[in-house]
A and B are shown apart, each in its own frame.
Chain A
């Protein structure tokens, strides 16, 4: 029983973190049209930086090397990780958002991601290279004496709460004037610019916010697994997040949840239980990617807007049930009260 529960909690943590990644990408792409092709890099930076802030100095002579090792309390370390992801988003934005159109931006993000991947893998003294970080301290370990299952359940609840908060905030952005301007930028950046709005700033806001979202997911990932190495954030992972967003429905945060569930949980997890064929150890992971790719193709073909397309936004209506007057008469009478209903 404990094993099953432990497994369920792990899947749930996985589901919520993927959801957070997808929400971050939705703010960037679904709201604002920014093609970020290196989503997973922000997860890695968020996770790594939080970890090296929380971990003590690497023991001398252990053969393990990483920067910082400040032994800070987790809340500060987590904040540091999220800010680092946001900073990376800001830096890439400075290069890519100033002059480049979306397709070039996609190439720049992909290139930056690949560059950082090589740098972190080969630069053994940053985050311990290809070995990666392990023995990352558990955030809530000192609260009380946990059973392993109790700890997992507690962690799942924390993750769920963070997810719900981020979900509500993402919806709030969407419905706000800022979200509306973001969607206008997505639809036609030049026109928004011509109407006197600084589209660089708007896109940068989306870029940094989305990066921070993904960073939160990264912090949660490394805190839960207590380890992260480059093998855990290959380029392919970025496209799992993309698949989740496209299948679920870009621009719709509920779609992002459904997409994360379908892609990250059903396809990614379920395929782990296919029988292994010893002669072909890569077969199952490859089948996983084939299935995810297939899901994207099918959804783009049959439901290009995703399973849950973006919803139409409406505003208050006049005559509000009073059909005795025409719209012109209503307008002439003034509408100051109408919006207050």
Chain B
């Protein structure tokens, strides 16, 4: 897995590419030379045991952390070391492992404020207030569509802080949709969510992938849903790539079963 083809003809379909990425915290090598690539328009799973470095990878890719070394390429352009907002503006949007809504804003506002180019410049406030008003109308319409799709329409005027855990997960995903991302990097979107809602979230992800062509990278511990919606799964352990394949293939991979599935079982037994 360490070698990644540099042949441009195979690169065309790559949305996101990570190469020999490293990040240490003091003595802990949280990400230790991980490499993988994600094809455009796919739903790719990123799995691995607790502490494998998945969230750290998400933080590195989204710019929240700066890599010690290695490359991250979005659509063939290096984005490693850029500021998070620069990466977000290039169309890579991430969500957080713990829901992070804007608590003192309504559900509707949570969505609208997440869209790009709202006309949020001071010059518009001073001299061209109509710019914001016009754009707001478009955004409200888009937000209404999104809210209806995600079943949050009845909650549109509720403060986001009052939502339940599951509703917050739906809000996070619908908010990400408003940003019109090319690549959506979801860090455990199903964590702490009941089985019925996991199904629903999975359907939404598949729907967005089909309708809008959004590329998804899904960090997830729920292997059932990963198996169901991911065409390709990357397994990481100890900060490096362990294996790549479909879930069915990975189940037969001895190293994966040892490091991940086995580890998981042992952990469960131990606790």
The B44-95 residues at the A interface (CB cut-off 8 A) are: 62, 64, 83-90, 93-94
**Closest-CB distance, B207 to chain A (whole angstroms):** 15
Taking the closest CB of chain B, its distance from the CB of A155, in whole angstroms, is 27
Q: Which of A180, A195, A199, A318 has the most CB of B within 10 A?
A: A195
Cβ contact within 8 Å between B88 and A177: no
Write the chain B residue with the least CB distance to A330.
B144
Q: Which residues of B contact A335 (CB under 8 A)?
A: 140-141, 144
How would residues 2 to 42 of chain B score, 1 for a CB under 8 Å from any chain A CB and 0 otherwise? 00000000000000000000000000000000000000000
Interface residues in A, total, Cβ within 8 A? 42
Quick one: given A191-B100, A327-B144, are A184 and B122 in contact (CB under 8 Å)?
Answer: no
**Bound Cα distance A194, B183 (Å):** 13
Whole-angstrom distance between the alpha carbons of A318 and B141 in the complex?
10
CB distance from A198 to the nearest CB of B (A): 5
Q: Does B254 contact A (CB under 8 A)?
A: no
| Contact call A177/B120, Cβ cutoff below 8 A | yes
B150 within 8 A of A: no
Q: Assuming A193-B88, A199-B85, is B121 touching A178 (CB within 8 A)? A: yes
Distance A178 CA – B87 CA, assembled complex (angstroms): 21
Nearest-neighbor residue (CB-CB) of B91 within chain A? A196
Q: Does A103 contact B (CB under 8 A)?
A: no
Asked if A67 is an interface residue, CB under 8 A from chain B, the answer is no
B136 interface residue (CB < 8 Å to A):
yes
Task: Specify which of A196, A202, A314, A339 is in contact with B89 (CB 8 Å cutoff).
Answer: A196
Within the complex, what minimum Cβ distance (angstroms) separates B40 from chain A?
20
Q: Mark A242-284, 1 if CB is under 8 A from B, else 0.
A: 0000000001000000000000000000000000000000000
| Cβ contacts under 8 Å, A205 to chain B | 122
In the bound complex, how far is the Cα of B83 from the Cα of A196, in angstroms? 9
Contact residues in B for A179 (Cβ distance below 8 Å): 125
- Bound-state Cα–Cα, A4 to B87, Å: 62
Interface contact B120-A196, CB-CB below 8 Å: no
Binding site for A on B (CB under 8 A): 62, 64, 83-90, 93-94, 96, 100-106, 108-109, 112-114, 116, 118-122, 124-125, 129, 132, 135-137, 140-141, 144-145, 148, 153, 157, 159, 179
Q: A176-B120, A180-B113, A196-B87 are in contact. List 11 more A-B contacts (CB 8 A).
A: A177-B124, A187-B101, A187-B102, A194-B64, A195-B93, A196-B85, A196-B93, A196-B116, A331-B148, A335-B141, A339-B140
List 12 contacting pairs A-B, 8 Å CB cutoff, sorted by A. A177-B118, A177-B136, A180-B118, A183-B109, A190-B96, A193-B83, A194-B88, A194-B93, A194-B94, A197-B89, A199-B85, A331-B148
